[in-house]
Amino acid sequence: MKVNFSKYADGLVPAIVQDAETRRVLMLGFMNEEALEATRLLNRVTFFSRSKGRLWTKGEESGNHLILRDILLDCDGDTLLIKAAPQGPTCHTGADTCWGEENVSSDFLSYLEGVIASRASTSPDGSYTAKLLARGINKVAQKVGEEAVELVIEAKDDNKSLFLGEAADLMYHYLVLLRAKGYNLNEVIDVLKERHAT
């Protein structure tokens, strides 16, 4: 990757930071060669702060680091797209993004997968998801089967609300099953894309 740092007089290029999972734009900073190298070495997004006049690793004071996932260069070679995993709010105001947007996926199924993963790892008291996962793969698979049967039964009637409710139950339990097996929805989508291409 050959970044054109000489294009601008101050040797800085814009660095747009995007959440690697939700794809929300989190912030804009500036990088020189040293900041880009520090980002790669530390695996934490580091900028050149124009106000401080030095390298500045996002989160060095707040602890809300941006963990590096990928770096892309635009077609002109003078703007970076940094994909990162935020470790808390990105904006100094405490907001998720510097534009005041909530950092959630616009794809609700991806968001729901994240909630299921969180319940699996933290096992909060009262969480149905955590309790179901704790009962093991056989119980999770059994629930998917039960929900599938209930959806088929509702499909024979004309009650939209009941049908959609059962469809939602099946979708949720299906995502829990994927989590229990250690897979995710994107892997299923990849299979569908491959089949579609043939």
Does the 5-86 domain belong in CATH 1.10.300.10? Answer: no
pTM over 0.85: no
Mean pLDDT of 170-186: 95
- For residue 64, give both structure tokens: 């809300």
Considering the chain, tell me which residue range(s) the CATH 3.10.20.810 domain(s) occupy: 5-86
CB atoms within 10 A of CB 56: 19
pLDDT average, residue stretch 50-56: 95
Rounded to whole angstroms, the Cα distance separating 175 from 109 reads 9
pLDDT digit string, tens, across residues 54-110: 999 999 999 999 999 999 999 999 999 999 999 999 999 999 999 999 888 778 888
How many angstroms from the chain centroid is the CA of residue 58? 18
Q: How confident is the model at residue 124 (pLDDT cuts 50, 70, 90)?
A: confident
Domain with CATH 1.10.287.1080 in the chain: 108-197
Integer Cα distance of 116 and 123 in angstroms:
10
pLDDT band at residue 121 under the 50/70/90 scheme: confident
Q: DSSP labels for 2-18?
A: ---GGGSTTS-EEEEEE
CATH H superfamily, domain 108-197: MazG-like (1.10.287.1080)
For 157-183, what is the mean pLDDT? 96
Confidence label for 111 from pLDDT (cuts 50, 70 and 90):
confident
